[in-house]
Amino acid sequence: MQKWIFFVLFILAGALGLGVLFQDISNRQEAKEADAASSKIQQLKIVASNWQFDQADFTVKSGEPTKVSLSLKEGVHAIEIQGLGIKLDKENPSKEITFDKPGTYEIDCVLPCGEGHAKMKSKLVVQ
């Protein structure tokens, strides 16, 4: 008889544990979805490889919060967006900013990265 009682208690404890586990996972998923919905900010991802960026021109909308991030595909690089005070490198790869002034800004690699470093430029168009 005691074996049956322990068996039932074991099954109930397992079910309770699974219930708590799935409830916690569900709560985390809901919180993650809420964060994603509330932080719908535009993304500007700049990918740097040896002596070039992945695009010649990048475009963002002015007046909207933007997450600017630098991704290093090849080599070690650091960028500066001239006139906006944005500097990104391996240690600080992203920054959130709201572009207030429409215009065209130059993106430069500011870390000497080899023979093609002087040509490593791109443009940011803020509309």
pLDDT tens track for 49-85 = 888 889 999 999 999 999 999 998 888 899 999 988 8
Per-residue model confidence (pLDDT) at position 12: 81
- Specify the DSSP element, H or E, that contains 18: helix 2-38
pLDDT at 39: 62
pLDDT in the model for residue 122? 92
Q: Which residue has the tokens 């991030």?
A: 69
Domain boundaries, the chain: 1-39, 42-126
CA atoms within 13 A on the CB side of 113: 25
- DSSP class of residue 119 equals G
CB 59 within 8 A of CB 125: yes
What is the average per-residue pLDDT within 97-112?
A: 91
Q: What beta strand segments (E) does the chain contain? A: 42-49, 52-53, 57-60, 65-72, 79-81, 86-88, 94-98, 103-109, 121-126
Position 8 confidence tier, pLDDT thresholds 50, 70, 90: confident
Task: Please tell me the CATH superfamily of domain 42-126, with its number.
Answer: Cupredoxins -  blue copper proteins (2.60.40.420)
pTM over 0.85: no
| Dist. CA 21–CA 34, nearest whole Å | 20
CA dist 58 and 79 (Å) reads 14
- Alpha-carbon distance values, 124 to 85, 91, 110 (Å): 13, 22, 16
Could you give the CA distance from residue 114 to residue 69 in angstroms, rounded to a whole number?
A: 22
Is 11's pLDDT higher than 70?
yes
